[in-house]
Amino acid sequence: MITICIPIYNFNVSPLIRELSRQAKSVAVPYQIVIIDDYSFEEFKKNNKAVCEKETYIQLDKNIGRAKIRNLFLTYSTFDNLLFLDCDSLIISDNFISTYIDIIKQESYQVVCGGRVYAKNKPDRNKMLRWKYGIEKESQPANIRNRFSNKSLMTNNFMIRKKILEQIHFDERITGYGHEDTLFGYQLKKAGITVKHINNSVLNGDIEDNKEYLIKTENAVKNLIPILSYVNNDTDFINDVTLLRFYNKVVSTKLTTPFHICFICLKPIVKYLLSRGYINLWMFDFYKLGIFIENKRRFNKNP
């Protein structure tokens, strides 16, 4: 009935696997847990070995990235319903698996997204950026996410019919971190497949520190530049990505150069404040837009 798909990279998944196995057994339906390790460090492989080897467990001999590894689960999955979970997910509901099983039994879904939440208690200042962004931008109830259903797809906790993923793959040209889920949601929309959102969240169990999250954010912003060429600068895709909409407004008002000059002057202090945990999300948006303009200019000179 259900294959639970968990890509791993440098994380201890033992608690997650044990809880998923417990819940799957309790609902008494055919299930399979497939774990693919994307070339983690040996210490993580050693820690995960005991619990992972009880399931379908594959260790890759090189890192292939977040898009390609999700497509790879098609090779090892037995059942027609694929539930994808990030390895840092924490299960917070005793009915997590049974909720997805109920959806499967309705036989009407195509893609369903459960959502993500963050701990309510503030972390230390050195992890404030990821936490605040997650609380304000990602921890949304299903009724809010369903307003822009495909745009709101987050691949850390979603279920998809196998035949759909066979038809619409994650774009394997995206090898670095960021926006592979944005592009996948757009591709589903173009194919006429609407994502359904439900309240079946997992807790984000690994909040990066500010400096690490800034690096990941910069990589994600840079990924948008080649992705734009993949979609032929489609207006629908641009309208689905807030950063790209802001960029188009700056371009249309001929303020790109003044903004870039302003960003060059302010970048060191903005980056310092964000990395030190003095967080304002408007400042974070300014930083992302500046990074995009900076790299878009480089790309235009040397495509």
73-127 pLDDT tens trace: 999 999 999 999 999 999 999 999 999 999 999 888 999 999 999 999 999 999 9
Q: What does the pLDDT read at residue 175?
A: 85
Q: Record the pTM.
A: 0.95
Quote the pLDDT of residue 176. Answer: 81
How much is the pLDDT for 177? 85
Q: Where in the chain is the domain with CATH 3.90.550.10?
A: 2-207
> What are the residues whose beta carbons fall under 8 Å from the beta carbon of 89, sequence distance 6 or more?
16, 156, 157, 202, 203, 204, 205
Query: What SS3 class is residue 46?
Result: helix
In whole angstroms, give the CA distance from residue 263 to residue 289.
9
Contact 284, 129 (CB under 8 A): yes
| pLDDT tens-digit series, residues 224-271 | 999 999 999 999 999 999 999 999 999 999 999 999 999 999 999 999
Class (C level, CATH) for 2-207: alpha beta
Q: Which two tokens stand for residue 55?
A: 């399931």
198: left (phi over 0), alpha (psi -120 to 50) or beta: beta
Q: Can you list the alpha helix ranges (DSSP code H) found in the chain?
A: 14-27, 42-52, 66-76, 96-106, 128-133, 142-145, 162-167, 180-190, 210-230, 235-240, 242-252, 256-275, 281-301
